[in-house]
Structure 1
Amino acid sequence: MILALLAVGAIGGLLAGLFGVGGGIIMVPLLLWWARMDQRQAAATSLVAIVPTAIAGSIFYGIGGQVDWVAALFVGAGTIVGAPIGAWLLRSLPLAWLRWLFIVGLLAAAVYLILVTPERGGSLELQPLVMLGLVGLGLVMGLAAGMFGIGGGIIAVPVFIALFGMGDLLAKGTSLLAMIPAAVSGTIPNLRAGLVRLRDGLVVGVAAVAASGAGVSLAFLIPPSLSSILFGMLLVAVVAQLSVRAVRLQAREKRDREG
């Protein structure tokens, strides 16, 4: 089990650094498959591991000058409100709903990443409406963090690029910094509810931190168009696997009710 958790963390950390996500986008499915967690446990445990992963990744991007600290502050303020609400929904919504909401969100992000080629070098001009939009983005990121155990980078990175005109590297670095308060504020109610396998989350987090630096280095080397397509293809593969699993689980739950 320890080796499986380390592998989950290493893969999640590499992708976190490469794509500017918390790593939960791949850690949650892997925790479902390899650690035999249910959706709630996987989401809550993944969120614990995202905290150190996002800190390490944002430091690496910050060293490269690819973090907008002010934008991250506004987004982070929104995540603090959204994450506890998402954590409450995680405890309240039926598991079948959580599975399919997660799958639909991944599919939407995949389509965008494959079809839209980001640029490198764009920046953000802070104006009142932009600030309000950043807080709103943080609210959505917080909801995603609390409900699905992801940092919200799959939401933030495309939005930073498409709506706020950021370059791809700046979007990734800012996304990682902005998701830290979401991960922290979403983890606290999950801990209180007993959903988190804390030791497992810490093992995953240590491995993710170790691998995140390599992911950031790759992000600076790979052209933005290739990086976007690779990420989109990865999400499509995850969506396919999760959809098959969700259908099987629904069939099993139906048989159990009828039996």
Structure 2
Amino acid sequence: MHTHDETQKQIFLKVSLIGLFGGFFGGLLGIGGSFLVIPFLIASLGLSPHKSHATALPVAFASGVAALGFYFSSGQIDVSISIQVMIGCLVGVIAGTRLMKFVKGQMLSFLFGLFLLSLASVYMFPVTPLSSIVTTSQYYTIVMAIGLGLVAGLSSGLFGAGGGTILVPGTVILLQVSEHMGQGISLLAIIPTTILGTWLQYKQDNIALNIAPLLTGTAFIGGLLGGYMAILTHGTILRALIVIALLYIGLQNAIKNYPWRKKAASSQISKVN
């Protein structure tokens, strides 16, 4: 039988490892890392889907702040595009957070899985700028940047994750920036988005306050290492790592929370009884 102190130590260790893991890969891949920690918060700590998705938001903030200096120092951030993306993100996260409370826990996890699988399908193919199809006028850049931010913010508010996974390929394809530049823009835009999203989720009592500070602190440490490694790693390798993570977590959520499968199992049990 575990004593109270032993149980607290185990929780401390689990939260620390989850935060380090999410922060490292969030900084490395420029995607925040929230979606990576959600399954662990549910499986290892027993949080509900809503609390897990909401509590994961500060991970993206911490890893973004930690890794941002490395992207700035290497000239991999376009501040003007980042600000335009932020505008869309802040509007989107408000709408997404309000929408989350109308989605049941199992359905939230299932939709999250489908969302990640759809993103994986985008990443699996070479991300090539649409230079031969689109124009690069200032008006086009502003509209596309705000539009991308809106979709990314909606994802962050609804799922507590996914904003960076939209922004990185979106900026590369539609705004014709490099892979590393897309990651830098994503991290900078994610910071104010996650601050607002976390505050909104806190007001709805969705944040697990007993673990959020430790999770955020360890994610910051992981983000420092991830940001340093990102500048040294080739973009193709980064994209491959994102695909693997999206496929694994997406399939896990979609299969495990497939609504019709669970309903069928429930109906069979009721018939036996």
Does the alignment reach a TM-score above 0.5?
A: yes
Instruction: Name the residue aligned to 1:35.
Output: 45
Equivalent in the alignment of 2:7: none
Asked if 2 retains the 8 angstrom alpha-carbon contact of 1:113 and 1:232, the reply is yes
Contact 2:68 2:188 in 1 (8 A): yes
Equivalent position amino acid for 1:255 in 2: S
- Pick closer, same or farther for the CA change 1:151–1:183 going to 2, 3 Å: farther
Q: Output the CA distance in 2 between the equivalents of 1:70 and 1:165.
A: 14
Q: Which residue of 2 aligns with 1:217?
A: 228
Q: Is 1:197 equivalent to 2:238 in the alignment?
A: no
Deviation at 1:130, TM superposition (A): 1.2
CA distance in 2, matches of 1:214, 1:252: 44
Question: What does residue 70 of structure 1 align with?
Answer: 80
Amino acid at match of 1:130: T
- One-letter amino acid matched to 1:231: I
Change (3 A) 1:94 1:219: same
Gap change, CA 1:160 and 1:209, over 3 Å in 2: same
Tell me if the contact between 1:118 and 1:167 (Cα under 8 Å) persists in the aligned partners: no
Q: Within 1, Cα distance between the matches of 2:178 and 2:149?
A: 19
Could you state the TM-score of these two structures normalised by the residue count of structure 2? 0.86
Gaps of 5+ in 1: none
> 1:125 offset after TM fit, Å?
5.7
Matched, 1:171 2:182: yes
Residue 99 of structure 1 corresponds to which residue in structure 2?
109
% identical equivalent positions: 26
1:76-115 → structure 2 map (5 Å cutoff): 76-115=86-125
> Matches of residues 52-63 of structure 1 in structure 2 within 5 Å?
52-63=62-73
- For 1:49 and 1:250, locate their aligned partners in 2 and report how far apart those are by CA, in whole Å: 32
Structure-1 residue corresponding to 2:168: 157
Assess, with a 3 A threshold, how the Cα gap between structure 1 residues 249 and 18 changes in structure 2: closer, same or farther.
Answer: farther
Change over 3 Å in CA distance of 1:54–1:125 after alignment to 2: farther
Contact 1:151 1:182 in 2 (8 A): no
RMSD between superposed Cα atoms in Å: 2.4
Q: Is residue 48–residue 198 contact of structure 1 (8 Å, CA) maintained in 2?
A: no
Deviates more, 1:38-47 or 1:182-191: 182-191
Q: Is the 8 A contact 2:156 2:162 kept in 1?
A: yes
Which has more radius of gyration? 2
Q: Can you give the 5+ residue segments of structure 2 that lack an aligned partner in the other structure?
A: 1-10, 130-134
Residue in structure 2 matched with residue 136 of structure 1 by the alignment: 147
SS in 2 for 1:58: helix
Partner amino acid for 2:215? V
Change (3 A) 1:204 1:41: same
The whole-number CA distance in structure 1 between the counterparts of 2:235 and 2:59 is 27
Q: Indicate the residue corresponding to 1:26 in structure 2.
A: 36
CA distance in 1, matches of 2:69, 2:162: 16
Deviations 1:99-124 (A, max 9, x none): 222111111111222221569xxxx9
Question: Matched residues in 1 for 2:143 and 2:27: separation?
Answer: 27
**TM-score (ref. length: structure 1):** 0.90
Count of paired positions: 255
After TM superposition, give the deviation of residue 80 of structure 1 in Å. 1.1
Q: Which residue of 2 aligns with 1:13?
A: 23
Give the Cα–Cα distance (whole angstroms) in 2 for the partners of residues 68 and 125 of structure 1: 15
Q: Is the 8 A contact 1:21 1:172 kept in 2?
A: yes
Q: Distance in 2 between matches of 1:233 and 1:129?
A: 32
Moved more, 156-165 or 55-64: 55-64
Structure 1 residues 26 and 164, CA gap change in structure 2 (3 angstroms)? same
| Structure 2: distance between partners of 1:233 and 1:50 | 19
